[in-house]
Amino acid sequence: MNVIKVLVAGVVSIGAVVSAPVPVASAQPCPDVEVVFARGTAEPPGVGGVGQAFVDALNARAGGKSVSVYPVNYPASSDFGAGIEFARTFVDGIRDAGGHIESTAANCPNTRIVLGGYSQGAALAGLVTSAAIPKEVPAEYASYVPKPMPAEVANHVAAVTLFGTPSNQFLTENGAPPIRIGPLYAPKTIQLCAPDDTICNGAPSAPPTFAHMAYLTNGMTDQAADFAVSHL
């Protein structure tokens, strides 16, 4: 479990960089753009350090459009040894993100949604786009996993921006199902993996390098914001 301990320590340090609270969608009229973002492991509630950097970059490029933010409501737990209880916290995040996106699509049909996540949150966001429940989920647990979002919801999601997404090799070696971006979302998804980031580059499961903590400063949040704006 050294991999997890090192990863958690790094992600916590990223979250500590951002001290100001993230604005959450309020009762104001429907925004032009809404960012739905899942933070990384053990970051405090909100969108986390990478999420805030992405939101700031998107706001700077929004051209006067109103942008609101919805931090995915999930524990971002570091208790990976908790087995099914940890899995439940993760699945609850998938349910929260998907439910919020569906609600926004229904109640604010002109709002363009940008879904994103970092590290554990990127895995969560990727699974939100899935066209089917992963076949690797044991049958006895499949009923707990939320069903895929209706196909028409994809029309309201402008872009999906994922940072440091755990690779399928990393996930498989750690007993998690692989991430399959749904075909309705794949053309508008950008997955950013920093050079030498062993969490996302397909390397065998091993302690993460500092590259996994580099997204705040390596320009990739700007790259993701450019991508998202080009799809609004």
> Is 119 a residue of the active site?
yes
Q: Which one is catalytic: 68, 156, 167, 197? A: 197
DSSP string computed for the chain = -HHHHHHHHHHHHHHHH--SPPP---SSSPPSEEEEEEPPTTPPSSSHHHHHHHHHHHHHHSTT--EEEEE--S-----GGGTHHHHHHHHHHHHHHHHHHHHHHHH-TTPEEEEEEETHHHHHHHHHT-SS--TTS-HHHHTTSPPPPPGGGGGGEEEEEEESPPPHHHHHHTT-PPP---TTTGGGEEEE--TT-TTTS-PPS-PPPGGGGGGGTSSHHHHHHHHHHHT-
Q: Which one is catalytic: 77, 96, 167, 212? A: 212
Q: Which one is catalytic: 68, 77, 119, 167? A: 119
> Is 212 a residue of the active site?
yes
Catalytic site positions: 119, 197, 212
